[in-house]
């Protein structure tokens, strides 16, 4: 699979379109996916002067290439072989006046083209767009660098609970294969979890410049089991850079799911919304059958008590940073969608505040599935539909769609 007849020409700045189709054999199908992302210099925090993104499938077959624009933004519409059991894995190499950087994304698709998954038009997201987030890149240099940071319990309101004695594994690239080679390892300071600045700190010293991913071994946190998670860091040659923080949350059960929204200091308020058609299956969904959990209706079913709640939103954070956390206590068959609303700017028809908020949704489905999603940069909108979860299979579908909505109670927008 993944063969191609003609190598399409490279298109200018930001957009390319062509298909590299798999041969298709039984379980493998071909789908068209639009990938969006951004390349940013980790040292200067601006786009590099040029960046070429080359995309491959999981077998290493070339899918296409695209140049990032002046803002570092790239967008590629490609055909990819889709395996119904394993989903899509896309690998890419980012090349330019910086250290070659690799990234990898694995995700499932909501069975594109299947009528069985047809949703009402207001709930449909077409075509399939996946926002892969920001790829940090580091300038070429022979000098090594050091990174420091802290690993937090992301559900604690003040983000101050550091996770001590937590093993961390460092691998090269963005979101690399969790079974891939380990570049370095360490353990965070302190023992257990505590509200103490000495807990949860880590340092990786004398690393070659480049982009890495830190894997948190949540199971190994002393005392309370936490969930595994990972986060991107960048080593800039000749520099000792702090503040490269990550986080995770205490463990959930396999039939549960949890999403945690965090962001920066602006805006002071963002809101997590979850909608779903649970119990009705994935087909023939009508809007009134879709539940909607957000700050005004923080539990589903609405009259549920502590023992009967199925979906629960914790405290509505209104002072920046988050977190806002949704826990699906009992996953059912159906489609859950996790979205973020910029309620402060809901009446602004050109607002880009959400896009520059640094919003991130970390998602755990059961104990074994983890992914994180960053808000699309440089795209106006007050609603970010981040990710969907199939309650039955536990598969997650990245969305990355931005839109506008002035009414937080309008579940159809979320």
Contacting residues toward Ca ion, per CB under 5 A: 269, 271, 316-317
Residue in the structure block whose two tokens are 């009528």? 115
Query: Residue 149 has which token pair?
Result: 């940071």
Residue 166 or residue 343: which is nearer to Ca ion going by CB? 343
Residue 255 or residue 266: which is nearer to Ca ion going by CB? 266
195 SS3 class = coil
Residue 251 or residue 272: which is nearer to Ca ion going by CB? 272
288 SS3 class = helix
DSSP state of 140: -
Residue 102 or residue 271: which is nearer to Ca ion going by CB? 271
Residues ≥6 apart with Cβ < 8 Å to 7: 62
Give the residue at shortest CB distance from Ca ion: 271
Closest approach of Cβ 183 to Ca ion, in Å? 37
Closest approach of Cβ 389 to Ca ion, in Å? 21
Residue 217 or residue 316: which is nearer to Ca ion going by CB? 316
Residue 271 or residue 388: which is nearer to Ca ion going by CB? 271
| Nearest 10 degrees: Cα torsion 201, 159, 136, 189 | 10
Closest approach of Cβ 318 to Ca ion, in Å? 5
- Residue 129 to residues 35, 177, 271, 312, 346: CA-CA distances in angstroms? 6, 22, 22, 28, 23
Closest approach of Cβ 263 to Ca ion, in Å? 10
User: Closest by alpha carbon to 270, among 199, 214, 209, 321?
Assistant: 321
Residues ≥6 apart with Cβ < 8 Å to 360: 261, 262, 263, 372, 373, 374, 375
Closest approach of Cβ 322 to Ca ion, in Å? 8
Helix (H) or strand (E) holding 17: strand 15-17
Q: Judging by DSSP bridges, how do beta strands 28-41 and 129-137 pair with one another?
A: parallel
Residue 129 or residue 343: which is nearer to Ca ion going by CB? 343
Distance CA 341, CA 318 (A): 12
Closest approach of Cβ 276 to Ca ion, in Å? 20
Closest approach of Cβ 269 to Ca ion, in Å? 5
């Amino acid at each position: 699979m993944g063969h191609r007849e003609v190598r399409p020409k490279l298109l200018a700045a930001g957009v390319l379109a062509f298909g590299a189709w798999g041969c298709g054999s039984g379980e493998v199908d071909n789908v068209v996916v639009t990938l969006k992302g951004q390349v940013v210099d980790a040292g200067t925090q601006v786009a590099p002067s040029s960046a070429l993104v080359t995309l491959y499938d999981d077998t290493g077959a070339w899918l296409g290439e695209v140049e990032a624009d002046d803002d570092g933004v790239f967008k590629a519409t490609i055909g990819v072989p889709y395996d119904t059991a394993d989903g899509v894995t896309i690998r890419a190499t980012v090349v330019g006046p910086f250290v070659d950087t690799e990234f990898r994304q694995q995700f499932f698709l909501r069975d594109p083209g299947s009528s069985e998954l047809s949703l009402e038009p207001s709930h449909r997201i077409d075509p399939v767009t996946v926002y892969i987030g920001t790829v940090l890149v580091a300038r070429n240099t022979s000098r090594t660098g050091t990174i420091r940071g802290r690993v937090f319990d992301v559900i604690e309101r003040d983000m101050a609970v550091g996770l001590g004695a937590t093993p961390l594994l460092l691998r090269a690239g963005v979101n690399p294969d969790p079974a891939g080679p380990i570049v370095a390892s360490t353990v965070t300071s302190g023992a257990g979890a505590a509200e103490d600045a000495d807990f949860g700190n880590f340092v990786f010293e004398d690393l070659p410049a480049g982009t890495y991913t830190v894997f948190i071994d949540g199971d190994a946190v002393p005392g309370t089991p936490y969930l595994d998670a990972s986060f991107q860091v960048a080593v800039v040659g000749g520099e000792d850079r702090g503040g490269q923080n990550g986080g995770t949350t205490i463990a959930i059960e396999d039939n549960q799911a949890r999403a945690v929204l965090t962001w920066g200091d602006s805006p002071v308020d963002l809101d997590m919304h979850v909608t779903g058609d649970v119990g009705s299956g994935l087909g023939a969904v009508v809007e009134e059958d879709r539940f909607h959990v957000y700050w005004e209706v923080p539990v589903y079913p609405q009259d549920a008590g502590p023992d009967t709640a199925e979906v629960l939103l914790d405290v509505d954070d209104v002072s920046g940073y988050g977190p806002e956390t949704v826990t699906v206590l009992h996953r059912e068959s159906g489609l859950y969608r996790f979205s973020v609303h910029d309620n402060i700017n809901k009446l602004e028809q050109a607002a880009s505040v959400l896009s520059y908020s640094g919003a991130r949704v970390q998602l755990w489905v059961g104990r074994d599935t983890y992914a994180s999603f960053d808000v699309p940069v440089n795209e106006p909108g007050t609603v970010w539909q981040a990710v969907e979860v199939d309650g039955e299979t536990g598969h997650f579908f990245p969305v990355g769609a931005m839109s506008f909505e002035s009414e937080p109670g309008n579940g159809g927008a979320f």
